[in-house]
């Protein structure tokens, strides 16, 4: 890759307006693997101007033209999938197998889901003599995180392209390499000049310039709740639409009739996956108080099989967390759990044995956690599981909903109707029943401080569309 110190603006690789740079650190080695340019307000202005001009023509393209464009993007992306996997492992430390079989393919999944939705989406509706049309909202500002980098890029860029919008992207400066690679893919696939623009930078500079920009019509942000709150505040001055996908503290309720051996193991591995760096991770495991000791023994045995290690090692289960700052935050919260009296089952502070270099975290499980403890309330974003006891089903539902977050939830029962009933009482945007996986065609997003709006599939189109009523359209002439 040769564009680390350039931006992609108006269909060309452009030199930045500043001389500011930041190193990209491989979290497994703590060594610099690239140095990228950091943009300023002038770069954002240039990208927005290009997107605004391109919107005049791209917004008028036909469904068939946009279908053909998404098909070309998919073709190029799939051909370069191995490069995405390598970049993701390098920039944020995902194990090679996870990058190859989950992280990189997530981009294919979202472009394919947007393509499918575009073929079926109803952009017009008749109500009496009125024609209601859904039109592209305009220039979109996209800000994406580092934990599932290509996943978050694709689930914003794909619907923006599908609906006729143009965009300016600021990927995370922690994990920007896969975004630069995607810019190459979009360029090769023939995305018209100005439709897609990329400016690297930090949140206070480039992110703020985007969310406050009068010519950006909509902001789509994925990241921490605190940063999302700032994007919403900054966007308020120009009354732009702001779509947010933020943090989570998802509860995983195991009802007393489940196979505990199976579902506790599933709960532990689901929490540890991607080193715990998933906003929808089931980090609060809710189990009957009467089964707590049994659950602890199963969880302890499963955790022993979670092996932190180098991303390219064949027996590695989890890699490092993405940055030194993230590592330090996790250490502080684990220490807080110990201080507040939670029972440390496995793990704890410090690096795992034998891993003296890299941002590795011990797979950590606490039991006998009470809902008021910090580790039960704050998003840790690391391989840390809190096991919380409940008295009965109503108590489990109360504990699950006792959080400022509302992204996801998990309910398991041998009685599917019972699991369905509990799921309807969980105040979250998503609920998984009996370990059911995600669905790229279904909406992804949360309640409360986990954000607003929805991504993925045809629901992901809505935030990129304005609704217009044309009264009298079907009136007799």
Positions of CATH 3.40.309.10 in the chain: 251-427
pLDDT at 2: 76
For residue range 433-452, what is the model confidence (pLDDT) as tens digits? 999 999 999 999 999 999 99
For residue range 311-370, what is the model confidence (pLDDT) as tens digits? 999 999 999 999 999 999 999 999 999 999 999 999 999 999 999 999 999 999 999 999
Q: Could you say which architecture CATH assigns to the domain 7-247+450-470?
A: 3-Layer(aba) Sandwich (3.40)
> Mean per-residue pLDDT for 56-68?
98
Positions of CATH 3.40.605.10 in the chain: 7-247+450-470
pLDDT at 477: 60
For residue range 164-198, what is the model confidence (pLDDT) as tens digits? 999 999 999 999 999 999 999 999 999 999 999 99
Q: What is the mean pLDDT of the chain?
A: 97
- 407 touches 428 (CB < 8 A): yes
> Mean per-residue pLDDT for 294-299?
98
Q: What is the CATH number of domain 251-427?
A: 3.40.309.10
pLDDT at 201: 98
Residues catalogued as catalytic: 245
């Amino acid at each position: 890759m040769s564009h680390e110190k350039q931006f992609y603006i108006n269909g060309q690789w452009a030199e930045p307006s500043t001389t500011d740079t930041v190193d990209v650190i491989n979290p497994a080695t703590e060594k610099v693997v690239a140095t990228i340019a950091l943009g300023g307000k002038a770069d954002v202005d240039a990208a927005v101007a290009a997107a605004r001009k391109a919107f005049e023509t791209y917004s008028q393209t036909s469904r068939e033209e946009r279908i053909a464009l998404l098909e070309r993007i998919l073709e190029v992306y799939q051909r370069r999938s191995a490069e995405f996997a390598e970049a993701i492992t390098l920039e944020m430390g995902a194990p090679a197998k996870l990058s190859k079989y989950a992280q990189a393919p997530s981009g294919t999944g979202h472009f394919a889901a947007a393509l499918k939705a575009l073929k079926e989406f109803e952009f017009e509706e008749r109500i009496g003599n009125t024609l209601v049309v859904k039109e592209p909202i305009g220039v979109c500002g996209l800000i994406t995180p580092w934990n599932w980098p290509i996943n978050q890029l694709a689930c914003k860029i794909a619907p923006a392209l599908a609906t006729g919008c143009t965009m300016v992207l600021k990927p995370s400066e922690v994990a920007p390499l896969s975004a630069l690679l995607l810019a190459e893919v979009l360029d090769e696939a023939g995305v018209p000049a100005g439709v897609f623009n990329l400016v690297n930078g930090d949140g206070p500079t480039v992110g703020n310039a985007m969310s406050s920009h009068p010519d950006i019509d909509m902001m789509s942000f994925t990241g921490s709740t605190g940063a999302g709150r700032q994007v919403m505040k900054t966007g308020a001055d120009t009354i732009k639409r702001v779509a947010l996908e933020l943090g989570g503290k998802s509860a995983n309720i195991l009802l007393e009739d489940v196979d505990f051996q199976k579902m506790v193991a599933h709960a532990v591995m689901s929490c540890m996956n991607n080193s715990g760096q998933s906003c929808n991770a089931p980090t609060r495991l809710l189990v009957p108080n009467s089964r707590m000791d049994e659950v602890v023994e199963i969880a302890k045995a499963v955790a022993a099989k979670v092996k932190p290690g180098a991303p390219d090692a064949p027996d590695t289960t989890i890699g490092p967390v993405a940055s030194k700052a993230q590592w330090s935050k996790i250490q502080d919260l684990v220490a807080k759990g110990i201080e507040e009296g939670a029972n440390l089952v496995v793990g704890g502070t410090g690096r795992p044995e034998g891993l003296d270099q890299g941002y590795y975290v011990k797979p950590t499980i606490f039991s006998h956690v009470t809902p008021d403890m910090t580790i039960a309330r704050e998003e840790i974003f690391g391989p840390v599981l809190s096991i919380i006891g409940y008295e009965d089903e109503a108590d489990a539902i109360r504990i699950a909903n006792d959080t400022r977050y509302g992204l996801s939830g998990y309910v398991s029962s041998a009685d599917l109707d019972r699991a369905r009933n509990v799921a309807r009482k969980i105040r979250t945007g998503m609920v998984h029943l009996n370990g059911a996986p995600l669905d790229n065609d279904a909406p992804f997003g949360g309640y409360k401080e986990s954000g607003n709006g929805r991504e993925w599939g045809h629901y992901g189109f809505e935030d990129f569309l304005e609704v217009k009523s044309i009264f009298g359209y079907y009136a007799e002439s």
